[in-house]
Amino acid sequence: MTFAVQDALSVNPIQPGRWWLSVPRGQATASWIDALAASAHDQWPGRVAVLDSSATLISNLQVWENLILPVWHRENNPLNALEERVVMACELAGMTDAQREKFVTCLPAMLDRGGRRLAVLLRSVLIDPDCVIVEDEFWRDMTSQAADAPQVRLFHCLQEIPCFVVVGRLPKSSGFVSVDVVE
Amino acid sequence: MLSFLIHTGLPVLMRQSLFPLFFLWRTLPALRSHAVRRVLLKQIYFTSNQAAYLVSAIGFSLGAIVVLQIHDQYGQSWETALRVLGRLGLSELAPLFGSLIMVARSSSAVASELVNMRAGGEFRCLTHHGIDISGYLLLPRVLGMTISAMVLSGCIALFSMMGGIIFSAGWDAGYQVAQIERMLSPDLILICIAKSGMFGGAAALLACAIGLLTRPVPTEIPKAASRAVFFGIMLLFIIDFVWSLIL
């Protein structure tokens, strides 16, 4: 997307609110997520969380390094201060100390899809974002799971963020303002 | 090489993919970040520290071979042989061998890692988090390989002198060590550092360029690794040849 994302949409979703962007057929959801993320970073530098269905982690970093990377890069804090925040985020997900130790010291290749999504959600919570961009498939999976699942607990926390944008082809859920692509 | 360049559609890709490399120097302030410095230190550790034993052994053998050949085959005195070794080692052998070993070990790793990261959507993931690809991924790799080439060349130069001295002087090695300023001069040391730094930087830029240009699919990863080594070695000899012509 080389154009300003706001010009191509009926409403600018990069502002406080709960937005549902319906991507037309023939256009890639990933491209819209990239464009929205870039636009959101212009407004809230380093305070944007993206939850796409692939739940990508950096493969040559351990999970704990993946969790702290965005916030470490943004704030340049000492590692021990970030460690405390990782512990708090894991407690929020309901993980025990042993579960946390096992989880954060493994490499992303050792995680299944659920584990990767948990890591991505923990990373997003640690960012302390002003804007959350979610792919519709991720949204559907999180809203269809039991409320006490660790991923769902973290996802509920992220839904409190003022700017929450869901992007994809699924029909709009209630509680969201529809955003359409202007032809 | 031409078919590779045409196959990859270089003109378009250069604009799109190589853009981060063209302005790499602008990302130097990224080194203020702990996260970037950690990547740089990891690169230096994997590229130079893990290869230090290997290059030390190669340097020691090389020094011994050069001194023995000059003395036995050409009938020169041990002292002349050591002087030749000092000049040849610092100006040619150490930068070339150090950089060759670095290319063989690390260029393939850098190129394949970058292609793998692109194939896995990791570049996109970093961009989503506002992390600049040039500053976080490319700058530490280029700087790390440049520094490593200088360190490895220094190791080869040092150990080749040790090998030469031990094989020429035997038990009187202490005397030759005391006379080392006759074999080495500051300008030779500067040439060694400058040459190896240039070799390392060029090989690193090439490895990154191949990592950025190669199609991000798993079947292309081994090809990227082999291209990085092949073209990297070729580049070293071209630069050395041009250096010899100019200086």
Per-residue model confidence as pLDDT tens digits over A42-51: 999 999 999 9
Copy the structure tokens of residue A87.
Answer: 């512990």
The whole-angstrom separation of Cα B118 and Cα A85 is 29
Residue A76, pLDDT > 80, answer yes
State pTM to two decimals: 0.87
Point out the least confidently predicted range of A118-122, A161-165, B166-170: B166-170
Hey, are the CB atoms on B120 and A56 less than 8 Å from each other?
A: yes
Residue in the block written with tokens 């150090």: B98
Decide if A72 and B124 are in contact by the 8 Å CB cutoff.
no
C-alpha A167/C-alpha A180 separation (Å) is 11
Residue with tokens 């291209």: B227
| Distance in angstroms (rounded) separating the CA atoms of residues B138 and B161 | 35
Name the phi and psi angles at A170, rounded to 5: -70, 155
CB-based contact A58 B33, cutoff 8 Å: no
DSSP for B133-195, written as a single string: HIIIIIHHHHHHHHHHHHHHHHHHHHHHHHHHHHHHHGGGHHHHHHTHHHH--HHHHHHHHHH
Q: What are the tens digits of pLDDT across the range B47-72?
A: 988 888 999 999 999 999 998 888 88
The answer for A 1-60 residues in CB contact with B (under 8 A) is 30, 33-34, 37-38, 41, 45-46, 48, 50, 52, 54, 56-60
CA distance B119 to chain A (A): 11
Q: How does DSSP classify residue A7?
A: G
Q: Name the residue in chain B with its Cα closest to that of A31.
A: B124
Determine how many CB atoms are found less than 10 A away from the CB of residue B50.
Answer: 12
Distance between CA atoms of B126 and A46, rounded to whole angstroms?
11
- Secondary structure letter of residue A163 according to DSSP: E
Q: Do A73 and B120 touch (CB under 8 A)?
A: no
Interchain CB contact of A70 with B (< 8 Å):
yes
Residue B35 and residue A69: Cβ atoms within 8 Å? Answer: yes
Per-residue pLDDT at B101 exceeds 50: yes
Task: Note the residue count of chain A.
Answer: 183
Query: Is residue B11 pLDDT above 60, yes or no?
Result: no
**What does DSSP assign to residue B216?**
S
pLDDT of A2: 43
- Taking CB atoms within 8 Å and a gap of at least 24, the contacts of B123-126 are B124/A30, B124/A34, B124/A56, B125/A50, B125/A56, B125/A57, B125/A58, B126/A58
Distance of CA B100 to the CA centre of its chain: 6
**What is the ipTM metric for this complex?**
0.91
Place of tokens 């512990």: A87
Number of neighbours of residue B169 by Cβ within 10 angstroms? 18
The residue with tokens 């704990």 is: A64
Q: Is B124's CB within 8 Å of A34's CB?
A: yes
% pLDDT > 70, chain B: 88
Give the gap in angstroms from C-alpha A68 to the nearest C-alpha of chain B: 10
Closest CA to B176 of B161, B193, B194, B195: B161
Instruction: For tokens 């100019």, name the residue.
Output: B246
Return the residue matching tokens 């948990």.
Answer: A118
What sign has the CA pseudo-torsion A36, A55, A72, B19?
negative
Query: What average pLDDT does the structure give for chain A?
Result: 90
Lookup: tokens for B77: 């005195």
Residue B18: both structure tokens together: 């190589």
